[in-house]
Structure 1
């Protein structure tokens, strides 16, 4: 009778690195005081954005330095036809924007300005205000209040900025793959690691490709597995995307 061979040990699955969260800071230790947020004049890109607002029929209400990041922000009223959601944003929820329109109609006021950035050619994009924008359009509004940020990179920070409606896995994944392609168009030289903040998790790009092929894809079944096996790459975005495409097949 032969000696039984010991069972081969399975190598543990590689876990994705834990996401770091900022620790609670000491009270009153960061940023600007209320008085320091005053901004009387704009320069550089911020002044160019102010000129675009006025040239496209908008009205500048004022400007200030953001109290946390110390970046200039322009408060403005924009013509509603001059602003569109970012092209990589999640699909519009008919039910959600209709509910918002109903609430806005009853209150009679729009008190939650959208965030906006300059679009590549003309007009403006909102990275996190699609449902509010469509709700105002549904009500026939002519203009909408916005906080216009001269720093265009904010457009890709949708997942972090979302305040309207919680993203599910499908929403996140589809937005990430759309952001991914837009980032390739903007700058092909960047690596996947360079833009990791905008993508949140590397597995979302793979899942997004799967959802594009099959809207009923059961992503929740596979995402935890894919997440353990993928990490952000040092490769250029276009090349890294081909890796995601291969995994999604």
Structure 2
């Protein structure tokens, strides 16, 4: 511009990616403290158990973070069982894993093994590797044997062997809860927040137990806002969750009826369920704030309102443009 110095706009600053910052203060054990002999008092009971199961103790060490003793052992394949509350076995994944192990010519990853009920040896994170070993006809598998029996209930957060989908996680969590309710009858549900990860997984797990084809993903956003861990004992809380799950199944039956009605009117979108559930969700406009713990309404009240919304759902109110918006949002989330 004449008579004026040209003003250049500054380019917007690019946002730097978050970087992993190593902890300044080092923690854990030194190398000399990690090494253990097989005759040490900390591992002697584990060595005896391994030998009684027909296996062999290979070495021992202290886990570098907590200092707990661990035993590296060879165990007969038939002496190890998956924890009873673990996700269901995937035959497809097992066959693929067995083929890859055969292709590599090595079974490299030891199973984590702990003492289970009735003196059994449980693996809380190696169900597919154990099954793959059986497919391959292996006699023995290597294992890290831990004296910490409660590790069986904390391993879910560390399990990266095969990504858990919502159904897998929910079923594993509810099975874990039922097992803990028997082992620790006086324990409260809220004591196991780390083990269970999220309260809605307990409720969804009960529904998945009854109906493996349940579309839990459609109801998960709703439950995240209203479902919370209980301060009651696990046994009492599970009874309440059984009732919540039954009501959720009743709502889903109504949702299926609505979907059939919409389909009969020519709506064929794959997002029909997501759209209908969003429409009857009584807390759909509530945005969870960071650190928020109190639900916008109790889960019982929310289920009542949701059921009422399903019963009075007006098919005539649905527009093609509404479904297009749901599809766009879903596509963005994916």
Same fold (TM over 0.5): yes
Inter-partner Cα distance in structure 2 for 1:35 and 1:27: 22
1:182 maps to 2:175: no
Instruction: Give the drift of 1:25.
Output: 5.4
Q: Which runs of 5+ in 1 are unaligned?
A: 1-22
Deviations 1:78-114 (A, max 9, x none): 0111001001111111111111111111222111111
Say if 1:56 and 1:123, in contact at 8 Å, map to a contact too.
Answer: no
What corresponds to 2:214 in structure 1?
217
1:104 maps to 2:101: yes
Inter-partner Cα distance in structure 2 for 1:156 and 1:215: 23
Deviations 1:103-136 (A, max 9, x none): 1112221111110001222331100001001101
What corresponds to 1:43 in structure 2?
41
Where does 1:71-150 land on structure 2 (aligned, <5 Å)? 71-150=68-147
**Secondary structure of the corresponding residue to residue 118 of structure 2:** coil
What corresponds to 2:51 in structure 1?
54
Instruction: Give the drift of 1:36.
Output: 1.6
Larger Rg: 2
Inter-partner Cα distance in structure 1 for 2:120 and 2:203: 32
Distance 1:79 1:176, change over 3 A: same
Distance 1:78 1:179, change over 3 A: same
Provide the alpha-carbon RMSD of the alignment: 1.5
Q: Which runs of 4+ in 1 moved over 4 A?
A: none
- When you count helix as a share of all residues, which structure comes out higher? 2
**Secondary structure of the corresponding residue to residue 119 of structure 2:** coil
Instruction: Give the drift of 1:233.
Output: 1.2
- TM-score normalised according to structure 2 size: 0.65
**Secondary structure of the corresponding residue to residue 147 of structure 1:** strand
Where does 1:201-240 land on structure 2 (aligned, <5 Å)? 201-240=198-237
Match of 2:193 among 183, 191, 196: 196
What corresponds to 1:26 in structure 2?
23
Inter-partner Cα distance in structure 1 for 2:81 and 2:97: 17
Bigger RCO of structures 1 and 2 (CA < 8 A, at least 6 apart): 1
Which range moved further: 137-146 or 48-57? 48-57
- TM-score normalised according to structure 1 size: 0.87
**Secondary structure of the corresponding residue to residue 166 of structure 1:** coil
